[in-house]
Each structure stands twice: as C-alpha cells, then as structure tokens.
Amino acid sequence: MEATTPAESYTVASQRFVETNLVRKKLKAEQTAKWFCLGMVILMILPLVSLVTYVFIHATPSLNLEFFLEVPKKGMTQGGIWPALVGTVYLVLVALAISAPVGVMAAIYLNEYAKDNWFHRAINLAVINLAGVPSIVHALFGLGAFVYAAKFGYSIISASLTLAIMTMPVVITSTREALNAVPIAFREACWNTGATKWQTIRRIVMPNSISGILTGVILEVSRTAGETAPIMFTGAVFYKAVEKGDLFPYFLDEQCMALSMHLFAISTQVPNVAESMKFATAITLLGLVLAINATSITLRMWLRSRKKW
C-alpha cells in the first residue's frame, strides 16, 4: 500500500467538504431571508424618519424658546404652548403614579401568589380584554365613574385616573413577563435558606426584573402623553389662563390644557392659525415623549448592566 504525502492527504480531505448543491441552496435561502428582513426593517424606519423630518421642517419657523415658555394669545392664534406643556406633564406623572404601583403589585400577586383556578384565569382574560378596549370607551367610563359617580368633576385627577386604567394592562403584562424571566432557581435558593415568599420577591425577584418592568412603564408614558379622547371627556380644557413660565399652574381638582388636546383645537377649531404652530406643537409632543422614553431607557440599561446573570 502506497503512502500518501501530506499534500495529497489535505487534497483528499478537502474534497470531502466541498459544498454540495443542497448546501448552496440553503446558504442562498439564508442570504435571501437576511436581506428580506433587512428590507422590512428599512420599510419600517423610512416612514418614521420621513414623518419626523417633514414635521420638523414645517415646525422650524415657530420653534424657539418663546414658543415653549409663552402662553397662547389672541384667541390661540399666537403665543406659545406653556400651559399645554405643563398640563401634559401633570397628566403623565399623576397617571404614572397611580398605574405603576397598582399594576406592578397586581402583577406580583397574579404571578407569584395566585393559584391557577377559574378566578385567576378570569382575571387574566379581563386584563387582556381591557388592553384592547378603544380609548373612547375608556373616556366614557372615566366620565361616568370619576367625573359623576366619584364626584371628582372635570379635573386632572379624573383624567389621570382614566389614563391610568387605560394603560394599566400594559404595566401588568410587561411586569408578569419580567417576573417570569427570573429563573426559578433563584427563588428556590432563597426558600432553601428560610426566606419567606415576600422576602424572596422583594430581595431577589424584583431587583432582577426591574429593567423589564420599566419597559411597560415606557410604553405607558408614550400612550398616556398622546391620548386625546380620555382627557377631552374628563379633564382637559380648551383654554386656561396661566402665568408665563409658572411651573405649578394647576391643582389636581382643576382642569388643565394638554398638548394633544391643544393640537386638536388649533388644527380643527381655531381659524387663522399659522401652519408652523401646528407642526411645532406636534413636534413638541413627540419630543416630550421621546425625552421621557430616553430617560426611562437609560435607567433600564443601567439597571440591566448591574445584573450578574
């Protein structure tokens, strides 16, 4: 038997791994799928970038510091958006202060304490259905429940409670997903050391799921700031006189202006409003949402970087 040289052995071995037609077909399909998915991403991003660019360009003539700090003047055809800007911040913060604690605690009960029975399944079904209810239905509920039944009247608290109920399913769902992402081994290790269930949740589960919980909060803020129907029926007002630059122009039992309502008003109800003012109001609302989201995302990334697993 003749001995083969190293070069011949390498040639023989390399021939065993030559791409077959089947392998080429699979690689081609993989490349096609990759470029198709990239195309879908581009198709998703392009409309957003185009929309923001279009709005920003048309808003440029009115975008200045005075526009943000001034109050509306001359029948809202001139001036700025300060009352609406502060009112939006009020609504978002109060709604967040109500829905975030309640939603998180409800999710903890459903995920960690509740038994898998008909009552638990009924609550899950109610949460899912509540997330799909149109905002106008929430507006009518808030009008009946908080404005009339609870006698809060048309006020910030009525509008915020309505927004909190509308966005609570998002907080509950995202919190449950974050809690489920924590390995069961973490819980078992704590229980084996004698820790109670609440101690395990408070010391181990919550710190390791906080970044996921913030995801639901981010989504809630985005939806809360942009809703018009719920606040129109419960607490937003067409115009309210406030002082220029006043950081605390409203009380919780008063009505307030809001950016979404203000944009609707100057676009449909007020004649002779400069087009740039409408676009400037829209870009301000978008910027406010992006600023709050960016802050929340930064906090979430910082908390996620502290994870040890």
Residue 263 lies in a domain: yes
Please tell me whether residue 194 adopts helix, strand or coil conformation.
Answer: coil
User: Which residues, in sequence order, are bridge partners of residue 232?
Assistant: none
Please tell me whether residue 73 adopts helix, strand or coil conformation.
Answer: strand
CATH of the domain at 291: 1.10.3720.10
The count of domains in the chain is 2
- Domain end, chosen from 39, 60, 81, is at 60
- Reported as a pLDDT band with limits 50, 70 and 90, residue 186 is confident
> For position 16, what pLDDT does the model report?
59
Q: For residues 180 and 283, what is the distance between their CA atoms, to the nearest angstrom?
A: 37
Same-domain pairing of 84 and 128: yes
Phi and psi at 78, nearest 5°, equal -140, 180
- Domain end, chosen from 60, 87, 108, is at 60
Same-domain pairing of 114 and 241: yes
For residues 235-251, average pLDDT: 84
Q: What is the DSSP letter of 269?
A: T
In this predicted model, what pLDDT tens digit does every residue of 87-123 receive, in sequence order? Answer: 998 998 999 899 989 999 999 998 888 888 888 888 8
Q: What is the DSSP letter of 72?
A: E
In this predicted model, what pLDDT tens digit does every residue of 280-290 receive, in sequence order? Answer: 999 998 888 88
Same-domain pairing of 71 and 54: no
* Residue 26, number of CB atoms within 10 A of its CB: 12
Q: What angle do CA 159, 161, 162 make, to 5 degrees?
A: 65
> For position 17, what pLDDT does the model report?
59
Better pLDDT: 150 or 21: 150
- Reported as a pLDDT band with limits 50, 70 and 90, residue 308 is low
Please tell me whether residue 111 adopts helix, strand or coil conformation.
Answer: helix
Contact 217, 171 (CB under 8 A): yes
Query: Which value, in Å, is the radius of gyration of the alpha carbons in the chain?
Result: 27
Same-domain pairing of 108 and 247: yes
Residue 5 lies in a domain: no
Same-domain pairing of 130 and 219: yes
Same-domain pairing of 158 and 263: yes
Same-domain pairing of 44 and 185: no
Same-domain pairing of 40 and 134: no
Same-domain pairing of 52 and 161: no
Residue 10 lies in a domain: no
Residue 182 lies in a domain: yes
For residues 254-270, average pLDDT: 88
Q: What angle do CA 302, 307, 309 make, to 5 degrees?
A: 150
Find the helix or strand (DSSP H, E) in which 149 lies: none
- Domain end, chosen from 8, 35, 60, is at 60
Q: Residue 36: is its pLDDT beyond 90? A: yes
Same-domain pairing of 26 and 168: no
What the block records as the tokens of 25 is 């077909």
Q: For residues 138 and 46, what is the distance between their CA atoms, to the nearest angstrom?
A: 33
**What is the overall mean pLDDT for the chain?**
85
Residue 173 lies in a domain: yes
Better pLDDT: 10 or 230: 230
Please tell me whether residue 63 adopts helix, strand or coil conformation.
Answer: coil
Tell me what percent of the residues of the chain surpass a pLDDT of 70. 93
Q: Which residue range forms the structural domain that includes residue 30?
A: 20-60
> For position 129, what pLDDT does the model report?
85
Residue 2 lies in a domain: no
Q: What angle do CA 113, 118, 124 make, to 5 degrees?
A: 65
Residue 227 lies in a domain: yes
Same-domain pairing of 175 and 224: yes
What the block records as the tokens of 268 is 């449909």
> For position 309, what pLDDT does the model report?
58
> For position 279, what pLDDT does the model report?
92
Same-domain pairing of 70 and 42: no
Phi and psi at 217, nearest 5°, equal -65, -40
What the block records as the tokens of 111 is 């995920």
User: Half-sphere exposure of 294 toward its Cβ, with a 13 Å CA cutoff?
Assistant: 6
Residue 221 lies in a domain: yes
> For position 63, what pLDDT does the model report?
87
> For position 105, what pLDDT does the model report?
92
